[in-house]
Structure 1
Amino acid sequence: MILAIEGVDGAGKNTLTGRLVARLTAAGRSVATLAYPRYATEPLGPAVRGLLAGDPRLAPLAASPRASAMMFALDRANSRPELDALVRTHDLMIIDRYVASNAAYGAARLPATERESFPAWIAELELGALALPVPDLQVLLRIPVGTARAGTLARAGADRGRALDTFESDDGLQERCARMYEELAARSWVSPWLVVDRETGVDTICEHLATR
């Protein structure tokens, strides 16, 4: 089973993933995790990091939401052997950011008139042309954007070697992205969604999984 955790930057996806792993492992389930983008993994990870960090050599690519989305998609496609192996050998595969991140962030970077059709393009690209597996459940970690922003700033402050990237530092983008996530969840984009908060998220997800 593939469970994808989604949300704006600073929402707490990594923390939620860690708590889920601890709870489910204690309950006897075998759990694996992956997180995208894979910044340290060649050949695309370092380029994605540079794109988000504002590397001037990648400025033309960064300026195009569709070209940027293709980079994120190809990074996932390159991980397919690892992803498939983990899915085969574990009860649950938890992914921190998956195809919905590309749909939400890419659409949020486009003019309003182009946003509606973008998620369908991402679905065709990643789940169609690149044949990535469809997630069985997508979890939206809902949190006020201002609260998430404070978390992002705190994280950057604790690690002086990690400045905010261009997505994290754009408050307008984060607001639009939050709205896109809500729209995707409301229409069950590509597979079922579960909307949770920080306080009760682990309990809600585990209760949902217990019924499957």
Structure 2
Amino acid sequence: MGIQAVIIVIEGCDQAGKQTQAGLLAGALNRKGRKARVFAFPDYTTPVGKMMKKQLEGRGFEPRVFHCLAAANRWEKAGEIRAASSGGSVAILDRYRQSNMVYGVLNGLSRRWLAGLDAGLPRADVVILLDIKQKEAFRRKPSGRDPSSGTHHSPSRWQQNTGGPPRQAGGRLWTRRAQRTRCTAG
């Protein structure tokens, strides 16, 4: 039996360190001879991603429309994710279906409806939630780093002094498997 393909998702509130940890994990896997590729969502380089970026910069959409766009953005990359996770390779996703579920539930949308948007997408083998207090995450955020800064998912909306949407959705969507795991660069 050969090495299995793997899809790992790293989730967490804005500025939790998802991009950093995804890069560290990919680097460690590559150094050990395991091919790994990182995907980040939303992916603002795709046609749907460009529409999402405009929305986050101020042109608002009704929540159902935004969540449909987020799902379409993942569908744009589904083939690449499947290819990147084939033949023993690892696809590492910085946000994925789980983020849409968390934000959608907090927007008052049905879990069933949200799950239907992603039915058929590649499924994660492992989902890691980086649990950090949002106040700490925003303290270290570089100004202007991402287009959602101060808009649709702004800290004043859900995230100030809490763990942001992942923590607020809590037991409705997440099952805690470990309290703390230390990540290192090597």
Query: What's the counterpart of residue 117 of structure 2?
Result: 125
Change (3 A) 1:4 1:18: same
Q: Measured at CA, do residues 147 and 30 of structure 1 come closer, stay the same or move farther in structure 2, by a change above 3 Å?
A: same
Tell me what 2:49 maps to.
45
| Corresponding residue number in structure 1 for 2:151 | 166
For structure 1, which segment, 136-145 or 19-28, has the greater mean C-alpha deviation from structure 2 after superposition?
Answer: 19-28
For the residue of structure 2 that corresponds to 1:79, the secondary structure is helix
Q: Number of residues paired by the alignment? A: 177
TM-fit CA distance, 1:35: 0.7
Matches within 5 A, 1:2-13: 2-13=7-18
Aligned position for 2:174: 185
The percentage of aligned residue pairs carrying the same residue is: 29
Structure 1 residue 8 displacement after superposition: 0.6
**Whole-Å separation in 1 of the counterparts to 2:57 and 2:10:** 23
Q: Note the C-alpha offset of 1:29.
A: 1.5
Q: CA deviation at 1:5?
A: 0.6
> RMSD value over aligned CA atoms?
2.6
Which residues of 2 match residues 41-120 of structure 1 at below 5 A? 41-42=46-47, 44-55=48-59, 59=60, 61=61, 64-110=62-108, 118-120=110-112
Q: Provide TM-score, normalisation by structure 1.
A: 0.73
Q: Deviations over 1:28-87 (max 9, x none)?
A: 221111111110212x111100111112xxx2x2xx222211000011112222222112
Structure 1 gaps of 5+ residues are 187-192, 207-212
**Equivalent residues of 2:148, 2:154 under 8 A apart:** no
- 2:143 counterpart (156, 159, 173): 156
Asked if structure 1 preserves the Cα contact closer than 8 Å seen for 2:46 and 2:76, the reply is: no
Q: 1:162 to 1:103 in 2, by over 3 A?
A: closer
Q: Give the TM-score, by structure 2 length.
A: 0.82
> For the residues of structure 1 that align with 2:87 and 2:170, how far apart are their CA atoms?
32
Give ranges in structure 2 of 5+ residues lacking alignment. 1-5
Q: Which runs of 4+ in 1 moved over 3 A?
A: 193-197
Task: Select the residue among 200, 206, 211 that pairs with 2:182.
Answer: 200
Q: How many Å separate the matches in 1 of 2:150 and 2:50?
A: 13
Moved more, 83-92 or 142-151: 83-92
- Kept in 1: contact 2:16–2:131 (CA 8 A): yes
Distance 1:196 1:135, change over 3 A: farther
CA distance in 2, matches of 1:163, 1:138: 23
Q: Secondary structure at the match of 1:37?
A: coil
